[in-house]
Amino acid sequence: MGEEQGKKVLEDGWLAARSTDVELTGIQLTTTHPPSSDASPWMPAVIPGTVLATLVKNNFIPDPFYGINNEAIMDIGDSGREYYTFWFFTTFQCKLSSDQHVDLNFGGINYSAEVYLNGHQIILPKGMFRRHSVDVTDILLPEGQNMLAVLVYPPDHPGKIPPQGGQGGDHEIGKDVTTQYVQGWDWMAPIRDRNTGIWDEVSITVTGPVKIVDPHLVSSFFDGYKRVYLHATAELVNKSAMSANCSLKILVSTELDGNTNLVEHLQTQNLSIPAQSNIQYTFPQMFLYKPNLWWPNGMGKQSLYNVEIGVEVDGYGESDSWTNHFGFRKIHSEIDSVTGGRLFKVNGEPIFIRGGNWILSDGLLRLSKKRYETDIKFHADMNFNMLRCWGGGLAERPDFYHYCDIYGLLVWQEFWITGDVDGRGDPVSNPDGPLDHDLFLLCARDTVKLLRNHPSLALWVGGNEQTPPDDINTALTTDLKLHPFYLKSNSNSNSTSTTSKDETTLTLMDPSQYLDGTRVYIKGSLWEGFADSNGGWTDGPYEIQNPEDFFKDEFYNYGFNPEVGNVGMPVADTIRATMPEEGWVIPLFNELESGYVEEVANPIWVYHKYIPYSKPGKVHDQILMYGKPKDLDDFCLKAQLVNYVQYRALLEGWTSRMWSKYTGVLIWKTQNPWTGLRGQFYDHLHDQTAGFYGCRHAAEPIHVQLNLATYFIEVVNTTSEELADVAIEVSVWDLEGTCPYYKVSETLSIPSKKTVSLFEMTYPKSKNPKPVYFLLLKLYDTSNSHIISRNFYWLHLPNTTGDYKLLEPYKKTKIPLKLTSDISISGSTYNVRVKVKNKSKKPDPVTLLDKNKFMETNFDCDFDEVDKNKNKNKKKEKEIGLFKKVYGLLKEDDDGVRVSEVNGSGVGVAFFLNFSVRGSGKGFEKKGDKRILPVHYSDNYFSLVPEEEMTVNISFEVPEGVTPRVSLRGWNYDGGHTVR
């Protein structure tokens, strides 16, 4: 018996040591003197990860993301490259039979390495963004352990950090093909080892005589997407010394319920491959009729097929197999004649882009499937439909793209050029890109092969705010040219007009033979339909705004903004978890002669790139609008109010001009790869800010909103269907609990893919309007009163001196609430459903829709509706015990649902309610931060008017031995009520 064929990831048992502390050679380490985990200087290693990740894990350096610990860590610019040159070591078993072959694979190394396997040396050349695969069949030990040692060298030009800091340090890092953010940016402190390490998985792959390499899958569409062809080309490598007669199979299937696969297409071809050679084999086209299409988030389902390619060799049997998900979809983009912005179409349907800029998941490259899934699901939950992988970061990993495929996030992938490091900046950087242009192109082509089969990948871009050097740009333009099928406008592909026989019989070069051929390549992020289209520095702005300005004609003058930024203060618990007490001091508010206030933050906040909530001369301090904060908790709570307002207004302002002025916007940025204090919807610990939920509402596929500049009510319909027989309920609530304004519109129809301005919300013009008030908009189906979109605002009268200081005493108005809870547990995953009702009585004359009965949508909800009758009969004893244990004072209704009451004598709006989940028990006894993270909420930071109710679904995983508590707080309820 030989080794089981396929891939085996070498993820356990890695050790690491600084090279200058190891006196042995690689040959000695992998033959006579293997290291031991209990012998200095060796320590457990983080793989995938970096040298810093390993040093942090072993407490040899402080956490660089905590406080200003990063300043205590030696920078490679001062220490020299040897200081961060490290050995990594592991062992593995692999017992081959005759005719089996094994490759040793490295998904990514930064920057170069010497590999030693059982005393044999292998040199891995430079380049962060290239895969390495080495045939090690002849140097494996047939019995016993194989010893593997890898000596990893940092980038050749790590550079120094100039005193002024800035974008990309002294720009030396741009001479190498590696990440450029690592010398620091205006949102990131320098990474001291420049991400040196084995930053992607290490594996071995065992095959027979013939190996399958980098198949390329492409689909072409005809007759309005009814007739689809799947094209496939694969490289086949015959590793044996004899000619191989092969049977090559391709299978296309779909997964049905119950883990059953439905075969859609099966094809077998016979061929012969000469000894010690490789060939490119293109399958005959495969026809499918009306396949399920893959759609971006908010446009439909993310249908995925399984494609399996297998090769059998005469006299051996199955030699190798390759399996991949594949989505049938066509992405097209062009410069829109109306707006001048780049217009994206998927399967012939225009899509209004609302998304964000992505740097990377973790600054120490501690990358994992679990973290990627949380990150991508968070973006889908915000109703985003695109992520831009910024050029100073990573060529993202297949795991990232896998979850973008699953959750419907289109991806704009840039190559490794940024304006600050490649042509401008202080000091002025080198415009000619990396020193080795051939290496750049090798890495680029390998990246294309790695990622090209993912349906989420939408376009390639040469660089951030810069174009690659002319020779690189010319080569990329040639390499990534579109196949003729994809040069055609999608407007023609929906037509049933005749298609030439040449096209249907593919006398053209098969599209799967192209390097890509299906996606546009654009030379830079400010060209060809982005910003001013000509490379002018016309993205941004990046700071606080007056919310109404987002709706004004003069705010942004171009059709598609690839970067517009804003604030991003996290919650107080995150500040306490990531900073010592001196970092808990809130900013000073210095009033200037102009009347504006300048925020002066403490040095730790400044180090973590805090961006103020004021812009003297343009925007008055948006936190002080709610009253001067008393302490950290008060400051962070008021910051969440501003976060919500800012990001909702940003997206609503762009969507207000959908297709008339704009084709899309990408927010800078959605998250931080460290504990930064700007531009984020969730922090590095995975706790969401209120801006997350402002975006979630603003980017709904169907949305009702208030134009803050005109005070007209607008309805946005980004879907492909007309919205008929709907109406809008408008209600205004004051701080005394009365409803001075109520209106229900006439029955409406909203065209597909339109934003329609309907009528003015006239309350501010009425007699004696209140200076601060709440506005609730509900778009509903007139046939059954089901709510399609709900939007809640807090507003002051529209003048320059208005503020929200009256909300401060409103905290004393305690609103009675009723909470009805249900729970299900699957392994370590908890699903909690909480219905929250405002029990204060609404004014009798007001005939509001009394409940939030939301319509079913295509949104991929975290929870299935609980079948209470089924649960009543099958409730596990363990769950009953848990209920009794954690509910405490909650009373039990007959149907097993738990009911809790929050007492209060006030009448009015329950304002800015938010849930959190905390733990107690094993591992939490001495832990300062008791939050359980991440948590997925169907909504949070929400408000309820009298007699209104809302159901919130909450999902999270609980570590073993930990008891979770779900708590509710609010602006006018700060008691931290435990709902379970």
Residues annotated as catalytic (active site), given as ranges? 465, 563
What strands lie across the sheet with 410-414, from one edge to the other?
520-522, 457-461, 410-414, 386-389, 353-358, 664-668, 560-565
Contact predicate 182/190, CB 8 Å = yes
Supply the angle between the helices 398-407 and 437-451 in degrees, to the nearest 10: 40
The residues, any chain, with a CB within 8 Å of residue 707's CB and separated by 6 or more, are 551, 652, 656, 713, 714, 757
CA atoms within 13 A on the CB side of 382: 33
CA of 92: how far to CAs of 51, 204, 368, 743, 913, in Å?
22, 10, 21, 71, 53
Cis amide leading into 541 (omega within 30): yes
What is the distance, to the nearest Å, from the Cα of residue 377 to the centroid of all Cα atoms in its chain? 7
Q: For residue 966, what are its two tokens?
A: 């779900």
- State in Å, rounded, how far the first CA of the chain is from the last one: 55
Distance CA 835, CA 831 (A): 13
The residues, any chain, with a CB within 8 Å of residue 561's CB and separated by 6 or more, are 530, 531, 539, 654, 662, 664, 665, 666
Distance CA 524, CA 518 (A): 18
Beta-bridge partners for 910: 944
Q: Tokens 């359980």 label which residue?
A: 932
Sign of the torsion formed by the C-alpha atoms of 487, 491, 494 and 499? negative
Q: What is the DSSP letter of 104?
A: E
Pairing of strands 342-346, 331-335: antiparallel
In DSSP notation, 394-439 reads: ----HHHHHHHHHHT-EEEEE-S-BTTTTT-TTTTPPTT--S-HHH
Beta-bridge partners for 18: 86
Instruction: Write the burial class of residue 439 (CB in 10 Å: 0-12 exposed, 13-18 middle, 19+ buried).
Output: middle
- Number of other CB atoms surrounding residue 598 within 10 Å: 16
Distance CA 562, CA 538 (A): 9
Angle value at C-alpha 844, between 840 and 848, nearest 5 degrees: 80
Which amino acid is it at 6?
A: G
The residues, any chain, with a CB within 8 Å of residue 469's CB and separated by 6 or more, are 431, 432, 433, 437
Distance CA 944, CA 949 (A): 7
Q: What is the 3-state secondary structure (H, E, C) of 570-626?
A: CCHHHHHHHCCHHHHCCCEEEECCCCCEEEECCHHHHHCCCCCCCECCCECCCCHHH
Contact predicate 755/716, CB 8 Å = yes
Contact predicate 762/797, CB 8 Å = no
Phi, psi at residue 124, to the nearest 5°? -100, 120
Q: Tokens 């069949």 label which residue?
A: 137
Pairing of strands 935-937, 949-957: antiparallel
Distance CA 789, CA 849 (A): 13
